[in-house]
Amino acid sequence: DADGGAMEAESAPKDVTSGMDPARQGAEELGERLADIDARTDDLFADASAADLAGYSRGGPVTAGGGRGRGAFEDGRPLEETLATGRTLARHLEEQLPLALDDAADLLIAHQLIGMLDEAGYLREETAEIAARLGTDAAHVERIVRRLQTLDPPGVFARDLKECLRLQLADRDRLDPAMARLVDNLELVAKRDYAALRRICGVGEEDLREMLAELRELDPRPGAAVAPVAVQPVVPDVFVRPAPDGSWLVELNSETLPRVLVNNAYQALVRADTLPEADREYISSCLNRASWLVKSLDQRARTILAVAREIVRQQDAFLHRGVTALRPLTLRQVADALGMHESTVSRVTANKYMATPRGILDMKYFFTSAIATTDGAGAVSAETVRHRIRALIEAESAEAVLSDDRIVELLRAEGIDIARRTVAKYREAMGIPSSVQRRREKRLMRA
């Protein structure tokens, strides 16, 4: 369990229902176990229910979640917007068909296949049955299905859950052999047989945790519509402006500070002899609490300002030169410099934003881990590495789209020692699609 630090196999009782179709029963049992995976992996398929699982008997469990790579149409609309505006899945896919096919007969079959998808984006009918109905051979239909599986959203036209997950992982450029073996053994995930999974996948405990977390991010229903999310404007809590002498002016935004006013009339009432003693004591107690609150808020504001000034002092080079000069910085370093507890620094920077010449930034942005250089003599901040990854991808050509492995090679040539999995994490955190998706976008732009 979480306290023990090791993931061990754990049995789960089976709920055997007589008379139920074995495939459906197996899917439901698998889903129930997946829903009970321990909190360390945040319930891998947290939103799965028996009703959801019943429709996935060919593939097993259902997952909820995750971010996926997207492309763009010629008019500049991101592909994800087409799902957020009420457009049907069929129309969304039909608009992308020129990306995948150009033969008239193939397009006709493709339109038929789109019409066969269920609301989750799965192709339920057997390839041979489809081929017989359309008057062609199964290999021809399979070839078209493979092309259609490259469309957005990743995972559509899958025949079962495992294929759906594989398609999404391939789109993210994350379908390495270990992850493929994990997807092939979802039953062991359901049983929480972590020892067997580590052995089969050939990975350690930490890698398995990360792989399970990645699996949880995938979408078992890629064809379902994506609801729009309202974007709230960010109001900075701190302003940072350049001073004439080359230093920085750091000021609190008074508009974001809580305002507590104490009516002085109550002070006069307490001092007067006209009030009964009980009333005087009650008002005095309220005034004391109000005074304490005012002082606490003032101390909190002073703490935010002190932390902001220390961050600015530590990250002066970043403010002057940009992200390539961002220093590795931890909460403890700031806490030690100010004589505070680390938890205090963490608390006052949570959900706080700083307006700087480099933009409005989350104050947590400035706290970044260090990544070693290949010569072992120094370190660069994780944010600097993220910036370099973005720069490499932005400079890539349509003929030479960079894979995560190639980015690792380029960064190591620059003296940055980094793993492929870390590159993939940073790329996804920045909302940058996989090399597969980027290549697809560049083809669309040239069309």
Q: Give per-residue pLDDT as tens, 214-244.
A: 888 898 888 885 433 333 567 899 999 999 9
> What is the percentage of the chain residues whose pLDDT exceeds 90?
23
CA torsion 81-85-86-91 (nearest 10°) is -50
What is the reported pLDDT for 17?
A: 37
What is the reported pLDDT for 74?
A: 36
Whole-Å CA distances, 238 to 260, 306, 343, 345, 363? 20, 11, 20, 15, 9
Asked whether residue 181 carries a pLDDT value surpassing 90, the answer given is: yes
Split at pLDDT 50, 70, 90, the class of 289 is confident
Please give the Cα distance from 111 to 148 (Å, whole number). Answer: 10
Residue where the block lists tokens 């019409």: 115
Residue 206 in tokens:
């930490």
What pLDDT, in 10s, does the model give residues 24-37? Answer: 343 344 344 444 43
What is the reported pLDDT for 381?
A: 73
What is the reported pLDDT for 258?
A: 82
What is the reported pLDDT for 280?
A: 80
What is the reported pLDDT for 372?
A: 59
**How many CB atoms are located within 10 Å of the residue 373 CB?**
15
Residue 399: HSE in the Cβ half-sphere, 13 Å Cα cutoff = 0
Asked whether residue 445 carries a pLDDT value surpassing 80, the answer given is: no
Report whether the peptide linkage leading into residue 222 is cis, meaning its omega lies within 30 degrees of zero.
Answer: no
Average pLDDT over the chain reads 76
Q: How do beta strands 353-356 and 238-242 pair?
A: parallel
What is the reported pLDDT for 336?
A: 93
Please give the Cα distance from 218 to 161 (Å, whole number). Answer: 11
Split at pLDDT 50, 70, 90, the class of 374 is low
**How many CB atoms are located within 10 Å of the residue 156 CB?**
24
Q: Which of the residue ranges 108-122, 272-286, 362-376 would you say has the lowest mean pLDDT?
A: 362-376
Split at pLDDT 50, 70, 90, the class of 339 is very high
For residues 356-370, average pLDDT: 80
For residues 110-130, average pLDDT: 88
Q: How do beta strands 370-372 and 379-381 pair?
A: antiparallel
For residues 305-313, average pLDDT: 95
Q: Which of the residue ranges 63-77, 116-130, 273-287, 318-332 would you say has the lowest mean pLDDT?
A: 63-77
Split at pLDDT 50, 70, 90, the class of 77 is very low
Highest mean pLDDT among 196-210, 219-233, 273-287, 375-389: 196-210
Q: Are 238 and 251 in contact (CB under 8 A)?
A: yes
Asked whether residue 49 carries a pLDDT value surpassing 70, the answer given is: no
Split at pLDDT 50, 70, 90, the class of 69 is very low
Task: List the beta bridge partners of residue 372.
Answer: 379
Please give the Cα distance from 123 to 145 (Å, whole number). Answer: 9
Split at pLDDT 50, 70, 90, the class of 404 is very high
Residue 101 in tokens:
């096919």
For residues 296-320, average pLDDT: 92
Phi and psi, residue 366, nearest 5°: -75, -15
What is the reported pLDDT for 94?
A: 84
Higher pLDDT, 259 or 148: 148
Higher pLDDT, 193 or 65: 193
Q: Which residues contact 38 (CB under 8 A, 6 or more apart)?
A: 1, 2, 192
Task: List the beta bridge partners of residue 241.
Answer: 249
- DSSP structure string for 354-400: EEETTEEEEGGGG-B-EEEBTTSS-EEEHHHHHHHHHHHHHT-BTTB
Asked whether residue 426 carries a pLDDT value surpassing 50, the answer given is: yes
pTM, full prediction: 0.41
Please give the Cα distance from 421 to 350 (Å, whole number). Answer: 27
Structural domains of the chain ordered from first start: 1-231 (no CATH), 238-366 (no CATH), 370-446 (1.10.10.60)
Q: Which of the residue ranges 23-37, 86-100, 249-263, 316-330 would you say has the lowest mean pLDDT?
A: 23-37
Q: Which of the residue ranges 292-306, 370-384, 421-435 would you say has the lowest mean pLDDT?
A: 370-384
Q: Are 188 and 200 in contact (CB under 8 A)?
A: yes
Split at pLDDT 50, 70, 90, the class of 252 is very high
Split at pLDDT 50, 70, 90, the class of 138 is confident
Asked whether residue 19 carries a pLDDT value surpassing 60, the answer given is: no
Q: Which residues contact 29 (CB under 8 A, 6 or more apart)?
A: 14, 15, 190
Please give the Cα distance from 373 to 377 (Å, whole number). Answer: 7
What is the reported pLDDT for 370?
A: 62
| Closest C-alpha among 35, 76, 28, 36 to residue 54 | 28
> What is the percentage of the chain residues whose pLDDT exceeds 70?
74
For residues 156-169, average pLDDT: 93
